[in-house]
Amino acid sequence: MGGTALEVSELEHRYGAQTVLSDVDLTVRMGEIHALLGANGAGKSTLIKILSGVQRPTAGRLSVFGQPVTLRSARDAHAAGIVTVQQDLGLVSGLTVLENLYLGRPLPRRGPLPHRAEARRVAREWLATVGVQLPLDELVGRLSPVRQTVVALARALAGRARVLILDEPTAALTDQESSLLFTLLRRLRERGVAIVYVTHRLHEVFLLADRVTVLRDRRVVATVPPAEVDADDLVTMMAGEPLASSGAAASARGPEILRADGLTGRRVRDVSLTLHAGEVVGVAGLAGSGRSELLRLLAGAQRPRAGRTAVRGRPLQPGSTRRALAAGVALVPEDRLHQALLPQADVTENVVLASLRELSRLGIRSARRDRAAWAAAARQLTIRATGPRQPVTQLSGGNQQKLVLARVLRRAPAVLLLDEPTRGVDIRTKQAIRGLIARTASNAAVLIVSSELDELTAVADRVLILREGRVVAELSAADADEETVLRHCYGGSSR
Amino acid sequence: MKETRAGLPTVDAAGPAAAAEPTAAGGTRRWIPGTPVAFAALVVLFAVLRPQSFLSTGNLRNTVEQIAILAVVAAVQTVVMAVGEFDLSVGALVSLTGVVAAHLMLDGTPVAPAILAAVLTGTAVGVVNGVLVAWLRLSAFVATLAVLTALAGTSLLLTDGSTLFGLPAGFVAIGRDRLGGVPVLVIVAAVAAAVVWFLLAHTSAGARWYAVGGNAEAAWYAGIDARWMRLAAFVVSGAGAGVAGVLLTSRLASAHPTAGDGLMLTSIAAVFLGMTASRSGRVTVGGTLLGVAVLGVLDNGLNLLQIDTYVQQVLTGLILIYAVALSRRREARR
Q: Which contacts (CB < 8 Å, 24+ apart) does range B114-120 have?
A: B114/B171, B115/B171, B115/B246, B118/B242, B118/B245, B118/B246, B119/B239, B119/B242, B119/B243, B119/B246, B120/B242
Q: Name the range with the highest mean pLDDT among A127-136, A471-480, B138-147.
A: B138-147
What is the four-CA torsion angle of B295, B301, B303, B308, rounded to 10 degrees? -70
Across A397-415, average pLDDT: 93
How far apart, in whole angstroms, are the C-alpha atoms of residue A343 and residue B19? 10
Which three-class secondary structure state does DSSP give residue B260?
Answer: coil
- B229 within domain boundaries: yes
Task: Break chain B down into helix, strand, coil percent, rounded to 5.
Answer: 70, 0, 25
- Residues in chain A, total: 495
pLDDT digits (tens, 9 = 90+) for A313-361: 999 999 999 999 999 999 999 998 899 999 989 999 999 999 999 999 9
Minimum CA–CA partner of A322 in chain B: B223
Shortest Cα distance, chain A CAs vs residue B84, angstroms: 13
pLDDT at B31 over 70: no
Q: Name the range with the highest mean pLDDT among A31-40, A192-201, A364-373.
A: A364-373
- Domain extent, residue B156, equals 65-261
Across A94-117, average pLDDT: 87
Question: Range with the lowest mean pLDDT among A141-145, A288-292, B13-17?
Answer: B13-17
- B16 within domain boundaries: no
- B40 within domain boundaries: no
pLDDT digits (tens, 9 = 90+) for B221-276: 999 999 999 999 999 999 999 999 999 999 999 999 999 999 999 999 999 989 87
Tell me phi and psi for residue A82, to 5 degrees: -100, 120
Q: CB-based contacts of B150: which residues, under 8 Å, 6+ apart?
A: none
B65 and B123 Cβ atoms separated by less than 8 Å: no
The sign one gets for the Cα dihedral A236, A239, A241, A247 is negative
At residue B16, the pLDDT reads 34
Of B49, B125, B44, residue with least CA distance to B304? B49
Over pLDDT 70: what percentage of chain B? 88
| Site from A342, A411, A416 to mutate, B interface, most B CB atoms within 10 angstroms | A342
Across A154-163, average pLDDT: 84
What is the four-CA torsion angle of B10, B15, B21, B25, rounded to 10 degrees? 10
At residue B17, the pLDDT reads 35
pLDDT at B7 over 50: no
| Banded pLDDT at A244 (limits 50, 70, 90) | very low
Over pLDDT 90: what percentage of chain B? 64
How far apart, in whole angstroms, are the C-alpha atoms of residue B152 and residue A227? 75
Q: Is the complex ipTM higher than 0.95?
A: no
A25 to each of A158, A218, B144, how far by Cα in Å?
A: 28, 12, 59
Pairing of strands A271-276, A211-216: unpaired
A492 and A473 Cβ atoms separated by less than 8 Å: no
* pLDDT, chain A, mean: 88
Query: Which domains, ranges and CATH numbers included, belong to chain A?
Result: 4-239 (3.40.50.300), 256-490 (3.40.50.300)
At residue B30, the pLDDT reads 60
Compute the count of residue pairs across chains A and B with CB atoms less than 8 Å apart: 105
Total tally of structural domains belonging to chain B: 1
Q: CB-based contacts of A312: which residues, under 8 Å, 6+ apart?
A: A257, A327, A328, A414
At residue B318, the pLDDT reads 87
How far apart, in whole angstroms, are the C-alpha atoms of residue A346 and residue A209? 52
Q: Are A338 and B218 in contact (CB < 8 Å)?
A: yes
Shortest Cα distance, chain B CAs vs residue A14, angstroms: 19
At residue A241, the pLDDT reads 56
pLDDT digits (tens, 9 = 90+) for B107-160: 999 999 999 999 999 999 999 999 999 999 999 999 999 999 999 999 999 999
* pLDDT, chain B, mean: 87
Q: Are B215 and A349 in contact (CB < 8 Å)?
A: no
Minimum CA–CA partner of B11 in chain A: A344
| Banded pLDDT at B280 (limits 50, 70, 90) | confident
At residue B14, the pLDDT reads 36
| Site from A292, A302, A323, A353 to mutate, B interface, most B CB atoms within 10 angstroms | A353
pLDDT at B277 over 90: no
How far apart, in whole angstroms, are the C-alpha atoms of residue B329 and residue B334? 9
Which three-class secondary structure state does DSSP give residue B203?
Answer: strand
Shortest Cα distance, chain B CAs vs residue A305, angstroms: 19
Across B94-114, average pLDDT: 97
Over pLDDT 90: what percentage of chain A? 47
Q: Name the range with the highest mean pLDDT among A17-31, A124-138, B49-63, B86-100.
A: B86-100
Give me the residues paired with residue A33 across strands. Answer: A195
pLDDT digits (tens, 9 = 90+) for A189-237: 998 899 999 988 888 899 999 999 999 888 898 899 999 988 888 888 8
- B31 within domain boundaries: no
At residue A495, the pLDDT reads 39
- B24 within domain boundaries: no
